[in-house]
Amino acid sequence: MRELEGKTILVTGASSGIGRAAIAVFSRHGARVIAAARRQEQTEQAVDAANAMGGSAAFLPVDIADEASVDALFDRIRKDYGRLDGAFNNAGKEAPQALLPDTPVATFDDVMATNARGTWLCLRREMQIMREQGAGSIVNTSSIAGIMSFPGSSAYGASKSAVIAMTRSAALDLAPLGITVNCICPGATRSEMSARWAERLPNGEADLAAFNPMKRIGEPEEQAEAASFLLSDRARYINGAVLVIDGGASLG
């Protein structure tokens, strides 16, 4: 089913992991994809691959931690596309693991600047466009770190909890117009970040998988497919939802 047929969809953090998978998944579902990221070469490789399979995707640069860069992105979207039917706010960064008293203030500020403030900056501009249109859907990427606690992750966890809070508030703001805002909370998912986590464990990815009731980690395409559904008209009555996609890892 081409559930995003005819929709113009923005993906941030599109150079790797879930965002990179979203370029392919959304394209297969018929979307015109705006793939936004800092790393141009990596993102354009994914864009070219999607277009070679019949998709319609294009790269635009953005650093979501930089307000001027975010404004330039959305000014370009208005100019080149004229509308924005959906947005997948997936850009984010990890923070070095450290106990809270050992975490530098600069580390906290850095991760919050991207994961919390950057997501908020994108939401603000997306919702302005969608309010003018009277329609649209948004999906934010949080994390299971936003709903449960891990030692040494106070800064990262705070940033991802903030994404959940702003998702719920934003979902109420324009609900009368039928504009929906939801978020996904991925567990361990194959990506550059999960590879770095695995490097810290004695048995690598096998140890990550062992923590999961399904005895595996997730694939980025599985997260992107869930985001695609939430961006589609099939999910038009889902608003403010926090969808945990972790194979049951957060159940205890």
**Could you list the active site residues?**
156
Other beta carbons less than 10 A from residue 151's beta carbon: 9
Who contacts 68 (Cβ-Cβ below 8 Å, separation ≥6)?
Answer: none
Give the 3-state secondary structure of 76-87: HHHHHCCCCCEE
What is the CA angle 121-127-131, rounded to 5?
Answer: 155
Cβ count near 203 (within 10 Å): 10
Helices (H) and strands (E) in the chain, counts: 9, 7
Confirm if 217 and 208 have CB atoms less than 8 A apart: yes
Residues 26 and 189: their CA atoms lie apart, in Å, by 18
DSSP helix/strand/coil, 12: strand
Distance, first Cα to last Cα, the chain: 35
Tokens matching residue 169: 């508030």
Q: Can you give 121-151 as a three-state secondary structure string?
A: HHHHHHHHHHHHHCCCEEEEECCHHHCCCCC
How many other C-beta atoms lie within 10 A of the C-beta of residue 72?
Answer: 15
